[in-house]
Amino acid sequence: MSKQAKKLTLDDIAKLAGVSRATVSRVINKYPHITPDVRARVQKIISETGYQPNKIAQSLASQRTGIIGLVIPSATQTILSDPYFLHLISGITQKTNAYALTLSLFLFHSMDDEVQIAHSLFNTNLVDGLIITADRKENPFAQQVITQDIPFVVIGRSDLNTPLASVNVANEQGAYLATEHLITLGRRRLAIIMCDHNTAGDDRYAGYRRALADYDMAFDPQRVVCGDFSLESGYAAMQQLLSAKPDAVFVSSDMMAIGAQQAIRQAGLRIPDDIAVVGFDDLPQAALTDPPLTTIQQPIEELGMVAVDLLHDLMHDSAAAPRQVVLPIALIRRTT
């Protein structure tokens, strides 16, 4: 407890309680068949001394560390500007706290990091399982994980054509609803700010196209611009789009939508009168843009929570068939 005290071990507790180390270990691990007397005696010593088992020794002996890794292989730039990841992490930590798991976080700041981290994660017995955000279409890290003997779950769709445990939201359907909403409003010159190199971006683009087709709306490649989910890229994309004179734009993330709104205003146009905007995410800030942003709500925290649930199941029953969960989305109408 205090600074100087030499740390107590199982052995010390065993001696103090007059039992074997095995018994103390069983008490700590809540093994059911222990004489109540003995259990009480051991517990008393433990609480009196403030003994805490050495987690590393427990891990080595039990072959489980209770650590799970969260790997976010996105470009750092994207991560930085998108509160999405904060919500995801929040959902994940809620569950890891509940399961008494420890979360380790792995971000790549360079190609080198990717190699280094893969190296330190695979075959080192450090983590019991992995959660991977698989937004990038090119995802060499995820490719590697498949070949490893480690439970993992993927957040977002993955094109790894293997049955994997995964959680995702109904991206295609969300984009469809958003686009349909704009069409229903009477808009005719629809545009999209999408995100390439990203599976969620692809799915949302597909939903946009499907809605256009279903409603016999013209598709004009001039009115398609790519961003990278960042605020800045949404701003730049909208500036580019302006010359194509859209009267509505579906932006596939709220941060990009906020940037797009800014570009529209700066061009002296009115929202939604001149250009209607619909986003995707429903971040808290979406309700406070000018005007408030109509958007597709996706349950980001829940995404994280379900990921941990799936992983937890996998870790305790490796024979379990990997489950794919798709969470529902909803259109949140604000401005229009």
Partner DNA sequence: CTGAAAGCGCTTACAG
Decide: is 62 part of the binding site for DNA (CB under 7 A): yes
Decide: is 20 part of the binding site for DNA (CB under 7 A): yes
Please report how close the Cβ of residue 98 comes to DNA at its closest, in angstroms.
21
Give residues 63-122 in contact with a copy of itself (rule: CB under 8 A): 65, 67, 76, 79-83, 85-87, 89-90, 93-94, 97, 100, 102-107, 109-110, 113, 116-117, 119-120, 122
Tell me the C-alpha distance between 258 and 291, whole Å: 10
Judged by CB under 7 A, which of 1, 44, 48, 60 binds DNA? 60
CB-nearer residue toward DNA: 11 or 196 = 11
Give residues 272-301 in contact with a copy of itself (rule: CB under 8 A): 284-285, 288-290
For 239, phi then psi, to 5°, come to: -60, -40
CB-count exposure of residue 226 (10 Å: 0-12, 13-18, 19+)? middle
Phi-psi category of 281—alpha, beta or left, where left has phi over 0 and alpha has psi -120 to 50? left
CB atoms within 10 A of CB 294: 23
Tell me the C-alpha distance between 306 and 320, whole Å: 16
240 binds, among DNA, a copy of itself, none (CB under 5 to 8 A by kind): none
Judged by CB under 7 A, which of 26, 157, 187, 312 binds DNA? 26
Output the six-digit token pair for 207: 């939903």
Mark residues 249-268: x for contact with a copy of itself by CB under 8 A, - for none: ---------xx--x--xx--
Q: How many residues bind a copy of itself (CB under 8 A)?
A: 66
Tell me the C-alpha distance between 56 and 126, whole Å: 10
Residues in a beta bridge with 332: 295
What residues make contact with DNA under the rule CB under 7 A? 7-11, 19-23, 25-26, 28-29, 32-35, 37-39, 53-54, 57-58, 60-63, 125
